[in-house]
Chain A
Amino acid sequence: MRYAMAIDTRKCVGCSDCVVACQTENDVPLGFCRDWVKEVVDGTYPNVSIELRSERCNHCANSPCVRCCPTGASHFEDGGIVLVEHNKCIGCGACIESCPYEARYSHPDGYVDKCTFCIHRVRQGSDPACVSVCPTKCMYFGDLEDPNSKLVNVLKNRKYKSLAPEAGTKPQIFYLL
């Protein structure tokens, strides 16, 4: 099992529903966020283009955050989902420094927090909250090793990219172009 996500930049309108849904689902404290939406504008008027991306922890296969954690609080679970065990985390911040995507943050309660791919929902057969709420249905979540999943299908048929592949972390979120 290898969980991953594909996000269609052609359809994303940047509404940030994924951010609010994650916040109400996971009780993310206001002022912090586990996912966010970035807008990149390129060109000169009127030859301008926009890319909209919903970003979060990429649950990298070669994740530096798991590697550098001195206590093992950062670890892999089902399907490669990267989680933080709160009571093993000492709040040293090494994982935050090691993430090329700045996906982690220091939770007010002391431990380090980030997107969990809503593992509690995934274990019950649902999609993560952000994927379930997206009004444009531009997000796909699934098992890369399942040839019948919608995720694998959409990756087969579309061009995609991942963020900063040169960082060598093998991110598992793919942006459909």
Chain B
Amino acid sequence: MHTRRKFIKIGALGLGATALTTGAANWVVGAAGKPTKSSSNEPLGWRRVPTYCEVCFWKCAGWSYVTPEGKIQKIIGNDDDPQCNGRLCPRGTGGVGMYSDPDRLKTPLMRVTKNGEQTYREASWEEALDFIAGKMKEIAAKHGPESMALFNHGSPGKYFTHLLNAFGSNNVAAPSFAQCRGPRDTGFELTFGESVSSPEVTDIRDTRCLVLIGSHIGENMHNGQVQEMSEAIDKGAVIITVDPRLSTAASKSKFWLPIKPSTDLALLLAWIHVLIDDDLYNKQYVAQYAEGFNELKEHVRDFTPEWAYGITTIKPELIRHTAREMANAAPSVIIHPGRHTTWYGDDVQRSRAIAILNGILGAWGNRGGIFFKEGIKIPDFPRPEYPKPAWSWQDTLNGRYPFAKEAITNTIIEASIPKPGMEHLIKGWIVAGTNLVVSIPLKEQLMQAMQSLDLLVVVDTMPMEITGYADVVLPECTYLERYDDLRATAHREPTIALRMPAVQPMYQTKPAWWISKQIGERLGLGAYYNYKDFKEVLEWQLKQVGSSLEEMERIGLKKYPRKTPVYIESGAAYKFKTASGKIQLKSSELQAAGFDAMPVYTPHPQPEDGFYRLIYGRAPMHTFSRTANNRNLVALMPENSVWVNPQVAELWGLRKDQHVWLKNQSGVVSNFSVKVRITERIRWDSVYIVHGFGHHHKPLTYAFGRGVNDTELISRVATDPIMGGTGMRGNFVTFVKTEPKKEAKI
């Protein structure tokens, strides 16, 4: 196949060298920021600049401390921020490494063909932006503006969403929907009318019983969740963890249920059965706020703990006992919805079961359960109405995934591959802040799509794998070097937080708002960018909400009083956001669309002899693949390892720290080898890997070749028919002890 877009192994192209010398002078000149107070321990002459973290989506507000020489020494949490309470997580504290990473993208890069080989050359911003605008106009002329799509994660997304919306396209997708939280959002929406949002509205700090289904809070380092779980432990809350692996949370649980992987739905149904059968559910709550109870009772009649025992290997007494614990704690109980819920393809149904459990225990709207969030709505800076697109991503679904409320990355990828008789074709992508090559399964489809595009623009701070496929690579500056939208998280208390630059952008990097504006103006969309500088936008917005840039620069974060109750007042009437205003224990919507109205357990494929289920997760010192090059964080964890049960290790003759390659059920072999960790924490039928390593892009000079990439081993995907989530836990691996023959790798 003629590869129009070859992966460019940049290697040591020596790019950015000139940029280093010209751009370096810029960042020494400090940006505005108040001198440190004597109470903050820093010697005089230091500056303390407000920001909010960008390493993960929790966006903890904090302060950058800048030395008189202009170096960002450390980042500390903002004491007033309820998201972090003055304490950043290790990734936030290590955020300085994102700024000082020597491998950062430094200048715009453009794809050229030199001597028949495709490579990149440095370009000026003028050239790169002109090129992009020109291509976008071409695409719009030939296929319509709807033919431009955006894949995004994090802050930069907002500006490119605005750009595409103004251009005339709604095709904006975040991998976090179909590859991560989509199923739980859909499952909860179908039950309660709304989901648990980001950051999650779980009242962990006041709960008396926290049930984690595969959720590994503590290794998953969402700051507020970990902080609140710690508070809950102090208060004596019961934690019940369901996980085939002894996660950190499981090690702090009163009950750890070492469940057979893929059978969680059976356990959940058995719990519902016990709660109803033994009359332990929250009768008053269900009577007042829920409907479909009798159908549910009939549905779970046969889902006894004994039945579940045979499937899950969890003893019936334990199932009953833990159900009782939940009932005792109700309504201050949380069956945690989890976050990354794309497991086996029936994930919406599993999330429904979790939602139903929360519903019959009365957790939603009660202290210690799920609280109601409130936030401040920041008005949009004045702009004309967006044009109405002729079609959008829903039109590419062709009747599939009827309950997807957000765009599905995979269908947009699919819609980028031309097929005869295709109505809606996508020809151009902007990828901002997400490393698609590592986050999207179904790699062949992704590769084919990228080859068929007329334009692929990647906006990133680091030379991640996705940059090797771009036509134009635009270097974004890190969060420590720019102004950004106000953070207006909705949570227990409405807050707004300011992000302002601690230092000038390094090299030739630019903030996303500037990139978006520059492209927009070249496309004739200047009316949508009626400001010279993002500070203007912030000043205007802050004035609308009763504050000012000057105030926010001083305090960093501002709290507002709540106007709505945080819980349902005891016994008061409450209308849920469902069609009927009541909790849908039975989902007539699902039934109408031809799906199970209530969850049903279906067995999932099991590994054959010699293969082990590939389970992946997080480590608290890393965020996906984006921190694998951050020198401060790799000092904590330079690579991942494959967790192997000692019995399995003995079977295979594996020794501690031995390097092996992994081969999956379809014959895919990992690019690099991985260290073996022999541990009792993992079940004998599975292996566990922390996601985000095994980078194969050489410009990531530290991360290249370290550890193994689990995504490349995820070749079998179970797509959830309800909303398109890509279930990725149905892949099995075996060990290859000697280096495999090098096959042609992309």
Please determine if A and B sit in direct contact within the complex, based on CB atoms under 8 angstroms apart.
yes
A-facing residues in B222-269 (Cβ within 8 Å) = 223, 226-227, 229-231, 233-234, 246, 248-249, 251-252, 256, 258
What's the minimum C-beta distance from B258 to chain A, rounded to whole angstroms?
4
Contact with A along B268-279 (1 / 0, CB 8 A): 000000000000
Judged by a CB distance under 8 angstroms, whether A15 is at the interface is: yes
B64-118 residues with Cβ-Cβ distance < 8 A to A are 73-77, 84, 86-90, 93-94, 96
* With contact pairs A136-B230, A138-B230 given, residues A30 and B93 touching in the complex (Cβ less than 8 Å): no
Asked if B635 is at the interface (CB within 8 A of a chain A CB), the reply is yes
Best-buried of A16, A23, A41, A126 by chain B (most CB within 10 Å): A16
Say whether B631 faces chain A, with CB atoms less than 8 Å apart. Answer: yes
Which stretch in A46-54, A56-64, A91-99, A166-174 binds the other chain?
A46-54
CB within 8 Å of B: which residues of A?
10-11, 13-17, 19-21, 23-25, 27, 30-31, 33, 41, 43-46, 48-50, 52, 120-121, 124, 126, 132-138
- From the candidates B75, B90, B256, name the one contacting A16 in the complex (CB within 8 A): B90
Q: Is the CB of B226 within 8 A of A13?
A: yes
B634 CB to nearest chain A CB (Å): 9
Give A71 to B152 CA distance when docked, in angstroms: 59
Query: Assuming A15-B621, A44-B680, A45-B681, is B635 touching A135 (CB within 8 A)?
Result: no
For A138, list chain B residues within 8 Å (CB). 230
CB closest chain-B residue, reference A33: B635
Asked if A45 and B636 make an inter-chain contact with CB atoms under 8 angstroms apart, the answer reads no
CB distance from A31 to the nearest CB of B (A): 7
Q: Is the CB of B631 within 8 A of A30?
A: yes
Number of residue pairs A-B, CB distance < 8 angstroms = 123
Q: Is the CB of A15 within 8 A of B89?
A: yes
Question: In whole angstroms, what is the CA distance A15 to B623 when docked?
Answer: 12
- Cβ contact of A41, chosen from B75, B77, B258, B681, cutoff 8 A: B681
Question: Residues of A contacting B41 with CB < 8 Å?
Answer: 120-121, 124, 126
Give the chain A neighbours of B389 by CB distance below 8 A: none
The answer to whether A48 and B219 touch (CB under 8 A), given A20-B632, A138-B230, is no
Q: How far is the CA of A126 from the CA of B39 in the complex (A)?
A: 9
Note all chain A residues with C-beta closer than 8 A to B86: 132
Let me know if B256 and A137 touch, CB within 8 A: no
- Contact call A135/B248, Cβ cutoff below 8 A: no
Chain A residues in 8 Å Cβ range of B369? none
A114 shortest CB reach to chain B, Å: 17
Partner of B94, one of A20, A43, A126, A134: A20
Contacts of B645 in A (CB 8 A): 45
Report the bound CA distance from A121 to B632 in whole Å. Answer: 22
Q: Are B620 and A14 in contact (CB under 8 A)?
A: yes
- The answer for the CA separation of A145 and B215 in the assembled complex, in Å, is 42
Q: Which of A14, A45, A124, A126 is the most central at the interface, judged by chain B CB atoms within 10 Å of its CB? A: A45
Provide the residues of chain B in CB contact with A49, threshold 8 Å: 251
Could you say which of B93, B635, B680 has the most chain A C-beta atoms within 10 Å of its C-beta? B93
Q: How many residues of chain B are within 8 Å of chain A by beta carbon?
A: 49
B246 to chain A, nearest CB (A): 5
B contact residues around A133 at 8 Å (CB): 76-77, 87-88, 93
Closest to B75 in A: A24
Give CA–CA (A135, B620) in the complex, Å. 11
- 10 nearest A-B residue pairs (beta carbon): A13-B218, A136-B230, A15-B620, A24-B74, A46-B258, A50-B251, A17-B90, A20-B93, A11-B230, A20-B94
Residue of chain A at shortest CB distance from B631? A30
How distant is the Cα of A36 from the Cα of B442 in the complex, in angstroms?
39
- Interface check B683, CB cutoff 8 A: yes
* B425 interface contact, C-beta 8 A: no
A49-B251, A50-B251, A135-B223 given; A17·B681 CB < 8 A: no
A33: B residues at CB distance < 8 A: 635
Contact residues, B9-48 vs A (CB, 8 A): 39, 41
Chain A CB within 10 Å, residue with most, of B218, B221, B632: B218
* Contact yes or no, B93 A17, CB < 8 A: yes
> How long is the Cα–Cα vector from A72 to B682 in the complex, in angstroms?
49
A49 CB, nearest partner CB in chain B, Å? 6
- Known contacts: A20-B632, A45-B681. The answer to whether A14 contacts B93 by CB under 8 A is no
Establish whether residues A23 and B248, one from each chain, have CB atoms under 8 Å apart when the complex forms.
no
Docked CA distance A30–B631 (Å): 8
Chain B residues with Cβ below 8 Å from A21 are 74, 93
14 further contact pairs, Cβ within 8 A, besides A15-B621, A45-B682? A13-B218, A13-B252, A13-B620, A14-B248, A16-B90, A20-B90, A20-B621, A24-B73, A24-B74, A24-B94, A31-B635, A133-B93, A134-B87, A135-B87
